[in-house]
Structure 1
Amino acid sequence: MDIQHAHTRLWLRRFTAVPQAAPTLVCFPHAGGAASAYTALSRTLAPDVEVLALQYPGRQDRRLEPPAESIDALADAVVAALGPELPADCAFFGHSMGAAVAFEVARRYERQAGGSGPVRLFLSGRRAPSVRTEGGTGPLDDAAILARVRQLSGTDEALLADEDMMALLLPTLRADYRAVAGHYAPPEARVGCPVTVLVGDADPVTSVEDAAAWRTHTTAPVDVRVFPGGHFYLDARRDAVAGVIREALTVRPAATAPDRTA
């Protein structure tokens, strides 16, 4: 994917050079996350897959820009940044909030006149958008947001205890959690590409059952992969996840693969 255009370059980060013929994986960060969350995965997948990670507004070098207030608004902005056409071998990987954004971006590309979306979606650590939780999905206050971040065990406690740093990060976290809370898609909202669902078996916010409900949201085959670990299982299972991605992007399955534990 060409990222030389100034507007596209603002949104995309490339961490590792790969051969030009390699398939492209566009990665969508989690709530509060930045493109750099995918640095290690990029290095693990090289040189077989090119990773381009999205940098949302409101974080790191884009910290002075207001974060998006909804998943739909963020998806619209991503489509505008990536351009009208995707490379023929382009796939999306989204973790947590990023899974919702990746799904909505894929839907938008498929709805374009004569357009086509990604060849595959990798949706990680996120329940299907038609699944409503028993406790509701209303916006959280700051104390609840920090409690949720601690529950997910993906952020250094020293960072969470740094009041000055949290004062900088909380506005983005608030916006991201509002966006996630407000996102819903009915069961009939579907994409036409294959989907690989990835989830940790001890994820405190996304059960295997709720993750597997992504089956409702595609007309193509779905492969569900369950890994040992919590919400950020990817940190400890990066090699295994990279293997799943390589397999899916280099050997296109002819039939739905069985659910399995990796």
Structure 2
Amino acid sequence: MVTSSLRRYRPRPAARVRLLCFPHAGGGASGYRAWAALLPPTVELVVVQYPGREDRFDDPAPTDLVSLAGHVAAELRPLLDRPFAMFGHSMGTLVAYETLQRLRWEGAREPDLLVVSGRPAPDEALGGQLHLGDDEGLCDELARLGGATQEMFADPEIRRVFLPYIRDDYRLVETYRPRAAEPLDCPVTVFVGTSDPECDAAAAAGWARFTRGPLAVRSFPGDHFYLVPGRARVVAEISALLDPALARSSAAWPSMP
């Protein structure tokens, strides 16, 4: 049986705002677990868990990225009873965007804010053949982006467990083509790493074609995975975008019921 795709590591049913997060290719929901302690008590973190990894290891891979977004949208509908924001990194930007378009098509309200990270606009950087190539090519790409090292994937067991679903994620991204849709109305902010080979500040400007709302670009020190060492700064920036009154130090908030 296919399990739910939504994870709430620190449930806050009385939270004023929900932050919905979408991982990168090869990533899992647990990569955002530490965010829950960094967010203010008024914000509840909800993370999408894609099939084929972590606690969804036995769930089948989706046929395409748009159908994945459709399944996520169906699960998110009951959580849109209050203001919400979306954050997606790399592949997660596309899943978040398509999920948002599906929700809008079904009559749901748009988020108060969409934050996209580490990827140009949906109609750019299309295609690719890595999902059709050998394991070495896939490992080389992961090393290029800074998400893994060649030494890590020298272990046959690590390759056996991780590479199949990473390859499936690359298939979703490389076969994705955006559908014709009206621009969003919500504000969009693009986060980029200063040394990210995939998306710089100039490329981030292309997201302006996908919203009638204001577009902003924020740069952070680091490569494609700048948000791992810069976690506290990234979460503080998102909190400040949601409400300037939420801007604070990187210290964890106390536990809340």
Is the pair's TM-score, using the shorter chain for normalization, greater than 0.5?
Answer: yes
Structure 2 distance, partners of 1:183, 1:190, is 18
1:47 is matched with which residue? 41
Match of 2:195 among 184, 189, 202: 202
Structure 2 distance, partners of 1:43, 1:158, is 32
2:178 is matched with which residue? 185
1:174 is matched with which residue? 167
1:29-40 correspondence to structure 2 within 5 Å: 29-40=23-34
Match of 2:75 among 65, 78, 81: 81
Segments of 4+ moved more than 6 angstroms: none
After TM superposition, give the deviation of residue 105 of structure 1 in Å: 0.6
Distance 1:32 1:83, change over 3 A: same
Structure 2 distance, partners of 1:13, 1:204, is 30
TM-superposition CA deviations, 1:106-141 (whole Å, max 9, x none):
11111124x2122211101111111236xx533441
After TM superposition, give the deviation of residue 192 of structure 1 in Å: 1.6
1:26 is matched with which residue? 20
Letter paired with 1:72 = V
Distance 1:173 1:205, change over 3 A: same
After TM superposition, give the deviation of residue 216 of structure 1 in Å: 1.0
After TM superposition, give the deviation of residue 52 of structure 1 in Å: 0.8
TM-superposition CA deviations, 1:161-197 (whole Å, max 9, x none):
2211211222211110011112233786522211111
Letter paired with 1:137 = G
Letter paired with 1:112 = E
- Aligned with 2:21: secondary structure? strand
2:158 is matched with which residue? 165
1:69-148 correspondence to structure 2 within 5 Å: 69-83=63-77, 86-113=80-107, 115-132=108-125, 137-140=128-131, 141=133, 142-148=135-141
Match of 1:14 among 4, 8, 16: 8
Structure 2 distance, partners of 1:32, 1:128, is 20
Structure 1 distance, partners of 2:39, 2:119, is 22
TM-score, normalization by structure 1: 0.84
TM-score, normalization by structure 2: 0.86
Structure 1 distance, partners of 2:215, 2:39, is 22
Q: Which runs of 5+ in 1 are unaligned?
A: 1-5, 253-262
Distance 1:246 1:166, change over 3 A: same
TM-superposition CA deviations, 1:37-64 (whole Å, max 9, x none):
1012222114242111111111011111
Structure 2 distance, partners of 1:200, 1:212, is 14
Structure 2 distance, partners of 1:20, 1:93, is 21
